[in-house]
Amino acid sequence: MTSRATSVRPRPRRGLRRLLAGLTVAALVAALGPTGALPAQAAPTLLSQGRPATASSTENAGTPASAAVDGNTGTRWASAFSDPQWLQVDLGTRATLSSVNLLWEGAYGRAFQLQTSDDGATWTTIYSTTTGTGGTQNLTVTGAGRYVRIYGTARGTGYGYSLWEFQVYGETGGTTPTCGSTNAAQGQPATASSTQDAGLAASNAVDGNTGTRWASAASDPQWLRVDLGSTRTICRVVLTWEAAYARAFQIQTSADGNTWATIYSTTTGAGGTQSLDVTGSGRYLRVYGTARGTAYGYSLWELAVNATGGTTEPPGDTTDPRNPNLGPNTFVFDPSTPTSTIQSRLNSLFTQQEQNQFGPQRYAVLFKPGTYTADVNLGFFTQVAGLGLSPDDVNLNGHVRTEAFWMGGNATQNFWRAAENLSVTLPAGTTVERWAVSQAAPYRRMHLRGAQNQIQLWNGGDGWSSGGLLADTRIDGLVVSGSQQQWYSRNSEFGNGWTGSVWNMVFQGVTGAPPPHFPNPSHTVIAQTPQVREKPFLYIDGTGEYRVFVPALRNNSVGTSWYNKTPAGSSISLSQFYIVQPGTSAATINAALAQGRHLLFTPGVHHVTEPIQVNRADTVVLGLGLATIQADNGSVGMRVGDVDGVKVAGLMFEAGTTNSPVLMEVGPSGSSASHATNPTSLHDVFFRIGGPHVGKATNTLTVNSDNVIGDHMWLWRADHAASGVPTGWTLNTADTGLTVNGDNVTMYGLFVEHYQKYQTLWNGNGGRTYFYQNELPYDPPNQAAWMNGTTRGYAAYKVADSVTSHQAFGLGSYSYFNVNPAVVEERSFEVPINPNVRFTNMVTVSLGGVGTINRVINNAGGTANAAAQQQYLTTYP
């Protein structure tokens, strides 16, 4: 089969392009009256021209989605050569549509639909054909929405889909949204008043399988309830009854699951399949049966709920701070829970998650204050945490550990897990706790009790581990780094000190730290932490109320914020938070933020098609179980305003398959306000480009605001991964990891890896970084593909030539050009020559001698290659 790069197909001649453009003029002339004037009515407006457009794919860089809405019939969008494909335009506001004009190039759609949406996620079809013939199609439509797309299911040629122009006409404002076809109930949590037996559970009625069913006890009344995850405007309910049906029943909705409003009622139900047009809204919907149609109970094969697009009204439900819905993947234990129940749950989670690094499952395991016996062995995307105000409020007799047996002792892929706010007492006769992790695996606000004990960051006899964080943690005994290659410890206390070193060990504000002796051993010691705020966390107060504690800003600090002292900070009731469940639209989330509420994301993957907008000062955004925000359809995941004191913590941002300009932006471009006394801070915030699927984002995290604090972040592009996971230089595309434009930005524990241009680009003045870990992209196919002008490759850490002040301490950059070992990076750190731009303690490594880093910083430092794999430099200039 001929590849697209070498195939040749005829292009329309210039005269044909003029004819295509002229057809829209002819259509206008046909509408004129005898005097050449338009009829006396409002003319539809061309709404799509110049608006943001995205697509499922593009044939190449010269045929972007934007070319179909630029008003130029000489430019076009073209897709990949596969089905289905789509092109979407954001009109910016809701509109009532009257017509859509399609100006096809030679590669047209034979079968396609025109669809509208209010949130970019739930779509309603307003036109459909399987007999498209290409050319110019002027289609009259009836519908409304903010987003409009053409969704192609069958191409008319062997090529992709290609449009010179996609023109959407109508009037802004819009009418009542059309009823969507997506089943909002499917897969959502369901409960019932009773079940006939264990095989006829409530969840069977919302599993999308008409071969499974819910059945109740044989009595009246009975009910089935589904949690839609967010407030929805409900327009249709479809009931697929088994033979045991309801003769009298009501359809009811509720904002909180307690107070119900009836939106449909009948006393003459006949069973079968009932499609009921209704009008109502609520997060919860239930079928409430009062009279059975048979002697048996009530039985439903399926309950389907249709809604009118996304939720744009402010959420009506409030959070009960004593009994919050933390989602089905959050498990909360108290001291009365049987030890066997706790251990069984922990074991089943570990079995599922031990190797599940690219699955969508996310879990949080939370312990209320008290004492427990448990062996917590953490797998991927699992967070274990105590719900006390102090770590010592929850004590586990046992372990909180991470092993690496799944990779034969190699812990270099033990990512994405967390242990927080717990104390651990090891079993009698045991003196070693193992924490064999690499990136994005914080051991934070923990207390390992017993001066005779040690925490081991892995064992050289078992394999390697590669980078991690200890923060706000007390280790009564000894920390043994073993075969851990690099590590950052901040504001912690080591009762019996630290032993071990490989490449880059950094200690900041740590009591019990070893003496500074870089590079042999490679210990960088900074006495104090100049300004930091610890990560906010969920806890339960003495009355049983869930609250979020927000630690105070500390200056020039040493040691933990809590051990033998009262933590400084403020406490917020969970009643002031909106709890975000997977499936909640960004519009709903933004409505909650506009109400002045904070956000708590429950474990899961949260898809958004427009940015989450955090614009209120001091807003807290907290994730449980490494909750993940995936930016779909080329959207931005989150934008934070140029305001004081926003705290974002415990979240992963993931790229979708359509390129996003950036996944997270802190402050709009041009931000200039000072936040020196109340900075925005990011804690355990991680980013992923690719992995479970192809991912694309030009930039990953851009910081425009001043005085921002980063407290442990890993920004990662997938260029090598497990078997079956898509990776490649042209698949997972991402130019830059971190871009800093703001002044006086500080990063503690910064990990940035595998990007295709600069890993980190720092444009602001007064920046500081304490510990930096980087791996360069593994996969440049050749040197020509990885050139920065005439320079071989891109620096791992670039400070712009215009910067006059910058400091960085304890930095490592590593190469492993396994696709082409002949590739060379000219230098890992590139900075302006200025006495106020100072770098301290750097290392470059050619991993296994695969690939070359020519210089450490600018033109200083030795060459890391097969002959000399490690190069150290203590100061520059």
Active-site entry in 775, 825, 826, 830: 775
Residue 200 main-chain phi, psi, to 5 deg: -125, 55
User: Does the annotation count 654 as an active-site position?
Assistant: no
**Residue 815: both structure tokens together:** 């190469």
Q: What does the DSSP 8-state code read for residue 219? A: S
Distance CA 635, CA 612 (A): 10
Half-sphere CA count of 231, side-chain side, radius 13 A: 22
Distinct helix (H) and strand (E) counts, the chain = 3, 62
Distance CA 627, CA 121 (A): 19
List of residues 6+ apart from 684 with CB closer than 8 A: 418, 440, 442, 444, 535, 649, 650, 651, 711, 712, 713
Could you tell me which residues are beta bridge partners of residue 733? 696
**Cα 54 from chain centre:** 19
Q: HEC states along 49-73?
A: CCCCEEECCCCCCCCCHHHHHCCCC
**Of 406, 399, 400, 430, residue with least CA distance to 418:** 400
**Of 74, 138, 88, 141, residue with least CA distance to 117:** 88
Cis peptide bond upstream of 877, omega within 30: yes
Distance CA 654, CA 663 (A): 7
Cα dihedral 338, 340, 344, 346 in deg (nearest 10): 70
**Of 296, 325, 264, residue with least CA distance to 200:** 296
Cα dihedral across residues 618, 622, 628, 633: positive or negative: negative
**Residue 812: both structure tokens together:** 């490592």
Q: What is the CA radius of gyration of the chain?
A: 29
**Of 702, 636, 625, residue with least CA distance to 666:** 702
Q: Which H helix or E strand runs over 748? A: strand 746-753
**Residue 587: both structure tokens together:** 């519009």
Q: Which residue has the tokens 């050009």?
A: 817
Cα dihedral across residues 445, 450, 451, 453: positive or negative: negative
Distance CA 554, CA 529 (A): 8
**Residue 750: both structure tokens together:** 């910064």
User: How many C-beta atoms surround the C-beta of residue 466 within 10 A?
Assistant: 25
List of residues 6+ apart from 757 with CB closer than 8 A: 735, 736, 788, 794
**Cα 578 from chain centre:** 18
Q: Which H helix or E strand runs over 31? A: none
Alpha helices in 562-713 (DSSP H): 586-594
Exposed, middle or buried: residue 833 (CB in 10 Å: 0-12, 13-18, 19+)? exposed
Angle, vertex CA 299, rays to CA 294 and CA 300, nearest 5? 135
Q: What does the DSSP 8-state code read for residue 662? A: -
List of residues 6+ apart from 88 with CB closer than 8 A: 53, 54, 55, 65, 120, 147, 148, 149, 633
Residues labelled catalytic: 775
